[in-house]
Amino acid sequence: MHLSSSTLLVLLASTQCHAFAPAAMRARAPSPRAQWWEEDGTAPDAGATTTAKATGEHQIKAGDHVRLHYSLTTTGGQALDGAELTFDTEEVDLVVGAGGFLPALHNALDGASLTVDAPETMTLSAPFGERDPRLGPIPVPAANAPKGMQPGDRAGLSNGATARVMSVSDEKVVIDANHLYAGEDLTLTVTLLEPPNGRPLQEATFAGGCFWGVELAYQREPGVVRTEVGYAQGADPSPSYEAVCSGVTGHTEAVRVRYDPSRVSYERLCDLLLDRLGENRYALNRVGNDQGTQYRHGIYFSDDAQQATAEAVIAREQQRDAGRPIVTEVERIAAYYAAEAYHQQYLEKGGQSARKKETEPIRCYG
């Protein structure tokens, strides 16, 4: 991502939002990913663990569901600025290697040997990537910026990324899209809180239009451990994003969720979908400006219990406005195919917060 003055779109000053130019329509290209992600959505080698002392009894591997407490600090022991993080720290649940959080955290856990309640410390080599001069600092003419900007404000860019405002003068505004901790080694302290895979997870599949925004909504939901976007209910066994967008494959953009039923119910997950749909629940094959069968909304159950819950949720919501039929599909999941890697956790990679209980509005277009 190379910055120029034309990329500056929105400045987030406190809670104010200032537009520089009309927002672009939905991108059809890879995410404006953070610099610690590769083009294919995987973690770069630079985020690998450089030292590890863990010699515990549980050998952690990709695919394991782990509950742990972790912290990130500078190598000097200073806590990181939480405002710079799009993910949770401290006590979390995650599936190793399944995305979300920080790629270097997954790299550090994969292959580590950990003992329950025994803290282990590791050094991460530039987990937020190296500083890139193409990302800043870069001057933007002050005439292109709204008045009242201050150093420390966040600037939203037209490609969906964000930048920090470094300085402001009468002539120019200097911004920097490098992460605050780019180029720095960090210390990871991690404590396994229970044996891996100790609690069974359940799976659910939902469709609500643009899968980027729906996925982020589920990422923020407490009890959701893993999310993945993909294509549901179509006939083509190897769909591509371009083919699905054409509307001829029969798929709909969907989100597959793995969740801990002891912490969040299937009913709550169904409600979350309908809450996000809002008035779109009454619109056939449309969510907002996205139209076509590939954007139809639905709850795709995997067993009789999920079916009964989904139907009860729809019936309850229908009673609120009996004169307008809810057209959200409730069907047994017939097919699901994971989407391309660059779509996974798309909006988080673009800088939007995936922290649990986050209330910042989701911007589906960056």
Active site residue 210: yes
Paired with 190 in beta bridges are: 70, 120
Residue 205, both tokens: 């599949």
The one catalytic residue among 210, 245, 270, 364: 210
Tell me whether residue 101 is exposed, middle or buried, using C-beta atoms within 10 angstroms of its C-beta: 0 to 12, 13 to 18, 19 or more: buried
**CB 139, CB 174: distance < 8 Å:** yes
Q: Is the dihedral of CA 13, 18, 19, 25 positive or negative?
A: positive
Strand 329-332 and strand 298-301: pairing? parallel
**CB 350, CB 31: distance < 8 Å:** yes
Nearest to 292 by CA among 329, 247, 249: 247
Q: For the chain, how long is the longest CA-to-CA vector? A: 65
Paired with 332 in beta bridges are: 301
Residue 189 burial (CB count, 10 A):
13
DSSP one-letter string for 45-101: GGGSEEEE----SEE--TT-EEEEEEEEEETTSPBP-GGG-SS--EEEEEETTSSSS
Cα(15)–Cα(87) distance, integer angstroms: 20
> Catalytic positions, please?
210
